[in-house]
């Protein structure tokens, strides 16, 4: 077993919490004095720990052998999204089959907790999911496609296909996230979802999508809005999240400066998710 760790300023607590939310093997400890914190992630292999170090720096160390399975947390209750989708962390095939039999009107999506953000129970992801169900319902008689910027676990892209999208494309700068998402799209029977590893700030779209989701850190959103606007059709729907409440006004202003307008803004806890389109 390996452990990745990094010291950080306490002001970045929310960002670290969001990045590793849903990962049962991550720990964030506020250090004495309250001005700094230590982020730690326990990994089964050295390569997993090195992937995190490549993104965020920090240090690695090897731990003595322990019972890894015993450290795993129990699967949380499934999340019902608008009576249309059931998101669960369960990965046992027999239990998933039972879940599908008991919920015949819902598409059951299995997203086990892993290194990739997006298990469905974080406010940013679950609110995006609700918006996505609404959009799909409104577009049920039309052809639409889906772009997922910062796909994480692939949940939104998988859900889009279940909801009737003709195609879905997801990207993430995190190679581990892409690896996890690739497994999730196979497990959930949506192999046509396309995935690619790249940084959205270094990407120039060569086409447009009907529905675009961007669940990203607010600074990435603000810098990426011009590119995001280019990727959206004139009559398209935009879903954005990953924004703390006190970050919303500057994020909104950056979006409007790029030619976007936000018609529905939801605040859940300290997080803001918004639905918008081109102005």
Domain boundaries, the chain: 2-71, 117-278
- pLDDT reported for residue 236: 98
Give the rounded distance of the alpha carbon of 192 from its chain centre: 19
CA dihedral 185, 188, 189, 194 (to 10 degrees): -20
Q: Are strands 194-197 and 167-172 parallel, antiparallel or unpaired?
A: parallel
* Average pLDDT per 10 consecutive residues for the chain, totaling 279 residues: 86 82 75 82 85 88 58 72 94 94 96 67 88 97 95 94 97 85 94 94 94 92 96 98 92 98 94 96
Domain 117-278 architecture = 3-Layer(aba) Sandwich (3.40)
- Interhelix angle 155-162/123-138, nearest 10 degrees: 20
Q: Tell me if 92 sits within 8 A of 32, measured CB to CB.
A: no
**Residue-level pLDDT at 70:** 42
CA–CA gap between residue 91 and residue 97 (Å, rounded):
10
- With H, G, I as helix, E, B as strand and everything else as coil, classify residue 112: coil
Residue 102 and residue 114: Cα distance in Å, rounded?
A: 26
pTM: 0.78
Joined together, the tokens standing for residue 249 give 């006004």
Which pLDDT belongs to residue 208?
98
State residue 150 phi and psi, 5-degree precision: 80, 55
The whole-number pLDDT of residue 213 equals 98
pLDDT of residue 137: 96
Architecture of the domain spanning 2-71: 2-Layer Sandwich (3.30)
pLDDT of residue 118: 63
């Amino acid at each position: 077993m390996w452990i990745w760790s990094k010291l950080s300023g306490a002001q970045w607590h929310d960002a670290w919490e969001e990045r590793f939310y849903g990962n049962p093997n991550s720990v964030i400890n506020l250090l004495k004095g309250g001005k700094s914190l230590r982020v730690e992630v326990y990994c089964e292999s050295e390569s997993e720990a090195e992937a995190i170090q490549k993104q965020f720096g920090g240090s690695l160390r090897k731990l003595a052998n322990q019972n890894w399975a015993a450290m795993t947390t129990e699967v949380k209750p499934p999340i019902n999204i608008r009576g249309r989708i059931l998101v669960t962390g369960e990965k046992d095939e027999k239990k998933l089959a039972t879940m599908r039999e008991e919920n015949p009107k819902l598409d059951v999506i299995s997203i086990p907790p892993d290194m990739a953000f997006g298990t469905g129970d974080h406010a940013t992801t679950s609110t995006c999911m609700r918006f996505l169900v609404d959009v799909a319902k409104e577009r049920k008689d039309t052809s639409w496609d889906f772009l997922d910027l910062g796909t994480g676990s692939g949940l939104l892209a998988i859900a889009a296909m279940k909801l009737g999208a003709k195609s879905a494309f997801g990207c993430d700068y995190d190679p581990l996230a892409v690896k996890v998402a690739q497994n999730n799209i196979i497990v959930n029977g949506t192999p046509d979802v396309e995935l690619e590893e790249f940084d959205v700030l270094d990407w120039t779209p060569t086409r447009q999508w009907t529905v675009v989701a961007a669940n990203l850190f607010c600074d990435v959103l603000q810098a990426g809005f011009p590119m995001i606007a280019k990727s959206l059709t004139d009559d398209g729907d935009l879903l954005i999240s990953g924004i703390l409440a006190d970050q919303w006004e500057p994020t909104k202003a950056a979006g409007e400066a790029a030619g976007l307008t936000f018609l529905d803004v939801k605040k859940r806890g300290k997080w803001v998710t918004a639905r918008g389109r081109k102005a």
